[in-house]
A and B are shown apart, each in its own frame.
Chain A
Amino acid sequence: MAGGGESSRQVQMTSAEGQEKDTTRMNQILQHFHTKAALMICAARANLPKSITRDGALRQDRWFNTVLDDTDVLIDDLQEWRRLDLSTERPPPLIVEVYVDTANLNQNQALVITDDLGKRWDVADALTGSAESSPRPTNRQGGKFCEVVLERWTIELDDVNSAGGGDRGELLPNVYKKGVVLFRSLYAFLRFLPTWKLYRRLGRSSANGGGLRLKYRLKSGDKHSATLSAEDSLSTPLFPSETIKREQHYSDLYDSDYSTHSRSSPLPDGPSRHRFDPLRTPAGPLHIHLAYRPSVDFTVASSEALLSSRFLGLDQGLPALQGGRSLPPQAQHTRQKNAFAAAPPSRTMPREPRGLLGHYGSLGIYKKYMEDDEASTSAPKGSGGEGSEAGSANNNAAVQIGPGSASGPRRPSLDTRSPFKAGSMASSPRGASFTTASIGISPTSTKRDTARSPVTLPPPGSVPVEFKRPSYHPTAKRVSLNTLPQQALRAPPGSLPTETAIASSGSPSPMGAPSVPRFTSSFANRTKRTSSTSQPANAGGSTESSARGSTSDQAASATRSDDDDIADFLKLVESKEVKGMKMLPSGGRQTVDLSKYSNMRDPSGQLADEMSASSLLNHGSTPPSRRLSNVPALSTSSSPRPSHVPHVRSRLSTQSIAEEAAARGPDDEDGDEEPLLFATEF
């Protein structure tokens, strides 16, 4: 047992004083448990404005020995817990919801979610399909309004007599000590969740124009609200295979040894859950529960493109799916272009920044994005009509790859795009060969799949679900992906490297799963295109585009065997020309044909810069969490208040100062609140 000095000091206090002190401390712990949890959660999901003390110093919450920058925007919402006093009443559960909505989308935009197969689903449709409201809600711009809750956190003081409940004998210093561990783990856990990656992706898309943002709200809940079933928007499946995704996510996250202890339940219906072991206090156990969606791959799509895609999808006889409508998985641009496929190939269409293409190691990945560009500009190379990816049916990435010289300069660089490779692989040769290999692999898997029906969806089980998750990206480019501004949003992130993700699938044909669908349909609908294969400069790109060249008229008729096409593709892809090709910046070639897409543009130059920056980020030169303060203000509060009088916290300070004076040196006024009960431990 520890120093006699401490114990003697305690002995000197009268029991009444001691009790009062304990009560005060207990209240403090409860208050700060709630407010700190809310602060920590919101800070990891939104860019909270900093708060400055009267002296101009940064206000920080130092409770539980975990220092976070404080903010004023939560004060009002947290009033009920800031003045928590057990002698008056027990606090209600504090609920923090993290959600996205379409409030800022314009009439021509829709919120879509991409599933693991790369298919995109209209979220509003999926939600209203399950709701009974007949008139669809609209936002201010007249577009469809919907909201999807991504996470629901419940912070709750439970009855002292509840199961696994309080511990009347627990000393407050011990409570505090264990609280430190809990808050450290909450901090870490917040960054393991899928919504964290979404937050970073949205936060870095400076060109987002406020279209899609993570938002949060605080509210108080009923007792035991954590056990109530989550609202529809949190648990409503947005795409058919979502329940599979939930199970997969669960098994990815939890080690089997400890799965029973994690108290998370992969119920077939309902959201994923996680429960922190309660912090047991004399007043009862303090719980933090979470219900969340493992699939949060949201992007904004153009409504027109969706509409056209749907129409085309119907032509292809897509299987009827519950809830929302599915879109052929594609880079968004592809869809847009395909929507107007009727036009002759030379028609200019909105294009992916060419710069993007150079940053991904795999040709296959780029195919999708090159499609648009290629498709529209290809014309000559004998690719026939580009046009719609209609043929692509389900999951093909309508990779419209324009043949011809146009695609030449766009060969992705396989060796020199260090931002992506550097991040994850120290040895560049490896990275280079890696990316090359991925190109080679993709067609192989394509081959295998095209043997089946052109519109076959690989069975969900065969597709590694993690595919879509940004974290499972094979190369560093995945990390950079998070920093892609508009790019990431326009093209379903999943369809970006992650999808074609080389690494994603552990199967023999790693690129197969995600890229399989893409290649599948394109090849299936391909018409003969020998000219493209004669252009080594265009390499895989051109082959792809020719394959994709299938216009709507070509529909499902394949005039060449898929295997032939794939063999040609393979040859091209593995030819030296391909491997030696470098991407040239194509900023100048971008044309904004349709003004409605203008805000989805992202100059390739900017993209390149961001990618370079992201490589630094990936190296950890600046902890990502620190950089968030530079992000243009995201929505920070559900109840914005322009100016707050800084809340005077002296009420707590005065109580704490006497206790902590001996143990602690001078600190700012808020620091005085910090109990640091360790000092009074035995």
Chain B
Amino acid sequence: METRRPPEYTLELSADRSSVKDVVKGVLHTIFFHRFFTPVHPQTHDVLDLTLPYLSEADIESLVETKATALVRALDTASTQQSPQYNPKAGRGTIAVQFLEKKRRKAGWFGVKGEEETVWENWIIEVTLSSARSESEAVRNRRTMEKSLQKAAMKIVTIVNKERNHIPPITTNETNPFPYQIVINPRSDGWGQKMGIF
């Protein structure tokens, strides 16, 4: 079995409490837009005055909405909690998107042929909540937010073009060939579970 570590791409976002959900949703949709291989009629959605692509696939929409909400909740909790078991950096959270492929196992370890899912790509989105103590700081934060979003979006475009060789072959037409999952605040040791190692 291959134990190659799948590539990991990191995006950094800064957002204030009122915009963080939209910003995260926008970035998630932009990522999915480049990884949904069935025919798509592109939509767009404006976030902070930037036009981002938007996938109007019901599954994606609801998953993104759910996870973005969960992240915001986690961020809120982190910023109010001082307990070490939570993310010690108040106002910071990570949301990770993973794309998997189904591989048919020729000879199962249990003697059973089955499908195994392995991750072939990880997107790590690090979100920092900004808060402003004054209006001028809010202005600055807004500016930073917009810039970080634009850079993250542009980085996605750059990465997906630069790195095209690791996309697994596509074997099906009917549905999206690559399963995906979104994880909030994954712990570093959690990655091992997703590497195809049991």
Say whether B30 contacts A188, CB under 8 Å: yes
A394 to B156, CA, bound (A): 41
Q: A663 contacts which of B48, B136, B173, B177 (Cβ < 8 Å)? A: B173
Q: A437 contacts which of B19, B134, B147 (Cβ < 8 Å)? A: B134
> In chain A between 399 and 447, which residues have their CB closer than 8 angstroms to a CB of chain B?
424-427, 430, 433-434, 436-438, 440-441
A178 in the interface (beta carbon within 8 A): yes
Say whether B144 contacts A506, CB under 8 Å: yes
Say whether B136 contacts A437, CB under 8 Å: yes
B40 in the interface (beta carbon within 8 A): yes
Mark contacts of B137-174 with chain A using CB atoms, 8 A cut-off: 1 yes-contact digit, 0 otherwise: 01110111011001101111111111010010111110
Say whether A664 contacts B173, CB under 8 Å: yes
Q: State whether A434 and B138 are in contact (beta carbons under 8 Å apart), knowing that A254-B154, A277-B164, A678-B172 are contacts in the complex.
A: yes
Closest CB of chain B to A198's CB: distance in Å? 13
Interface of B (DSSP majority class): mixed
Q: State whether A424 and B48 are in contact (beta carbons under 8 Å apart), knowing that A254-B154, A434-B135 are contacts in the complex.
A: yes
Q: State whether A474 and B18 are in contact (beta carbons under 8 Å apart), knowing that A254-B154, A678-B173 are contacts in the complex.
A: no
Most chain B CB within a 10 A radius of its CB, from A625, A663, A664: A625
Closest CB of chain B to A357's CB: distance in Å? 20
**Chain B positions within 8 Å of A3 at CB level:** 171
A65 to B37, CA, bound (A): 7
Q: B44 contacts which of A184, A475, A503, A624 (Cβ < 8 Å)? A: A624
A508 to B151, CA, bound (A): 23
Q: State whether A192 and B157 are in contact (beta carbons under 8 Å apart), knowing that A252-B150, A437-B135, A503-B143 are contacts in the complex.
A: yes
Closest CB of chain A to B178's CB: distance in Å? 11
Mark contacts of A286-328 with chain B using CB atoms, 8 A cut-off: 1 yes-contact digit, 0 otherwise: 0000000000000000000000000000000000000000000
Tally of A interface residues using CB under 8 Å: 79
A473 to B47, CA, bound (A): 12
> In chain B between 21 and 45, which residues have their CB closer than 8 angstroms to a CB of chain A?
30, 33-34, 37-45
B96 in the interface (beta carbon within 8 A): no
Closest CB of chain A to B43's CB: distance in Å? 4
Say whether A253 contacts B167, CB under 8 Å: no
Say whether B30 contacts A474, CB under 8 Å: no
> In chain A between 168 and 210, which residues have their CB closer than 8 angstroms to a CB of chain B?
173-174, 177-178, 180-182, 184-185, 187-189, 191-192, 196
A543 to B37, CA, bound (A): 60
**Chain B positions within 8 Å of A188 at CB level:** 30, 33-34, 52-53, 153, 156-157
B63 in the interface (beta carbon within 8 A): no
**Chain B positions within 8 Å of A664 at CB level:** 173
Q: State whether A181 and B173 are in contact (beta carbons under 8 Å apart), knowing that A196-B51, A625-B44 are contacts in the complex.
A: no
B54 in the interface (beta carbon within 8 A): yes
Say whether B42 contacts A434, CB under 8 Å: no
Closest CB of chain B to A473's CB: distance in Å? 6
**Chain B positions within 8 Å of A340 at CB level:** none
B46 in the interface (beta carbon within 8 A): yes
Closest CB of chain A to B161's CB: distance in Å? 4
A545 in the interface (beta carbon within 8 A): no
Say whether A624 contacts B46, CB under 8 Å: yes
A640 in the interface (beta carbon within 8 A): no
Most chain A CB within a 10 A radius of its CB, from B38, B139, B147, B173: B139
Q: A192 contacts which of B34, B154, B169 (Cβ < 8 Å)? A: B154
Say whether A177 contacts B157, CB under 8 Å: no
Say whether B139 contacts A510, CB under 8 Å: yes
B50 in the interface (beta carbon within 8 A): yes
**Chain B positions within 8 Å of A277 at CB level:** 161-162, 164
B2 in the interface (beta carbon within 8 A): no
Say whether A623 contacts B54, CB under 8 Å: yes
A475 to B171, CA, bound (A): 46
B189 in the interface (beta carbon within 8 A): no
Q: Which residue of A lies closest to B21 (CB)?
A: A426
Q: Which residue of A lies closest to B35 (CB)?
A: A181
A62 to B155, CA, bound (A): 26
Say whether A2 contacts B169, CB under 8 Å: yes
Mark contacts of B76-111 with chain A using CB atoms, 8 A cut-off: 1 yes-contact digit, 0 otherwise: 000000000000000000000000000000000000
A504 to B153, CA, bound (A): 19
Closest CB of chain A to B112's CB: distance in Å? 19
A624 to B170, CA, bound (A): 32
> In chain A between 474 and 516, which residues have their CB closer than 8 angstroms to a CB of chain B?
474-475, 478-479, 502-511
A255 in the interface (beta carbon within 8 A): yes
Mark contacts of B118-144 with chain A using CB atoms, 8 A cut-off: 1 yes-contact digit, 0 otherwise: 000000000000000011101110111
Q: State whether A65 and B46 are in contact (beta carbons under 8 Å apart), knowing that A3-B171, A258-B155, A261-B162 are contacts in the complex.
A: no
B49 in the interface (beta carbon within 8 A): yes
Q: B53 contacts which of A184, A441, A474, A620 (Cβ < 8 Å)? A: A184
A678 to B171, CA, bound (A): 6
Q: State whether A474 and B143 are in contact (beta carbons under 8 Å apart), knowing that A173-B169, A437-B135, A510-B136 are contacts in the complex.
A: yes
Q: Which segment, of A121-129, A464-472, A592-600, faces chain B?
A: A464-472
A557 to B62, CA, bound (A): 64
Closest CB of chain B to A57's CB: distance in Å? 14
> In chain A between 48 and 72, which residues have their CB closer than 8 angstroms to a CB of chain B?
62, 65-68
Q: State whether A506 and B33 are in contact (beta carbons under 8 Å apart), knowing that A624-B46, A679-B173 are contacts in the complex.
A: no
Most chain B CB within a 10 A radius of its CB, from A254, A664, A678: A678
**Chain B positions within 8 Å of A653 at CB level:** none
Most chain B CB within a 10 A radius of its CB, from A177, A181, A504: A181
**Chain A positions within 8 Å of B146 at CB level:** 471-472, 503
Say whether B38 contacts A185, CB under 8 Å: no
**Chain A positions within 8 Å of B167 at CB level:** 177-178, 181
Q: State whether A2 and B150 are in contact (beta carbons under 8 Å apart), knowing that A188-B53, A192-B157, A625-B42 are contacts in the complex.
A: no
**Chain B positions within 8 Å of A65 at CB level:** 37-40
Q: State whether A681 and B157 are in contact (beta carbons under 8 Å apart), knowing that A188-B33, A191-B44, A252-B147 are contacts in the complex.
A: no
A573 to B157, CA, bound (A): 44
Q: B143 contacts which of A182, A505, A618 (Cβ < 8 Å)? A: A505
Say whether A276 contacts B37, CB under 8 Å: no
**Chain A positions within 8 Å of B46 at CB level:** 479, 617-618, 620, 624
A187 to B157, CA, bound (A): 10
> In chain A between 236 and 275, which residues have their CB closer than 8 angstroms to a CB of chain B?
252-255, 257-258, 261-262
Q: Which residue of B lies closest to A436 (CB)?
A: B135
Mark contacts of A69-81 with chain B using CB atoms, 8 A cut-off: 1 yes-contact digit, 0 otherwise: 0000000000000
Q: State whether A184 and B33 are in contact (beta carbons under 8 Å apart), knowing that A430-B18, A506-B140, A663-B173 are contacts in the complex.
A: yes
Say whether B135 contacts A438, CB under 8 Å: yes
Q: B19 contacts which of A253, A424, A472 (Cβ < 8 Å)? A: A424
**Chain A positions within 8 Å of B144 at CB level:** 506
Most chain A CB within a 10 A radius of its CB, from B150, B162, B170: B170
**Chain A positions within 8 Å of B40 at CB level:** 65-67, 184
A623 to B53, CA, bound (A): 10
A651 in the interface (beta carbon within 8 A): no
A434 to B139, CA, bound (A): 8
Q: Which residue of B lies closest to A187 (CB)?
A: B42
Q: Which residue of A lies closest to B25 (CB)?
A: A620
Say whether A681 contacts B43, CB under 8 Å: no
Closest CB of chain B to A443's CB: distance in Å? 13
A-B contact pairs, 5 of them (CB 8 A): A181-B164, A430-B138, A471-B50, A624-B44, A674-B39
- A residues neighboring B (CB under 8 Å): 2-3, 62, 65-68, 173-174, 177-178, 180-182, 184-185, 187-189, 191-192, 196, 252-255, 257-258, 261-262, 276-277, 424-427, 430, 433-434, 436-438, 440-441, 464, 466, 470-475, 478-479, 502-511, 617-618, 620, 623-626, 663-664, 674, 676, 678-679, 681-682
Closest 4 interchain pairs by CB? Answer: A437-B135, A426-B18, A510-B139, A191-B51
Known: A62-B39, A191-B52, A254-B151. 7 other contacts (CB 8 A): A67-B39, A276-B161, A473-B49, A503-B142, A625-B42, A625-B44, A682-B169
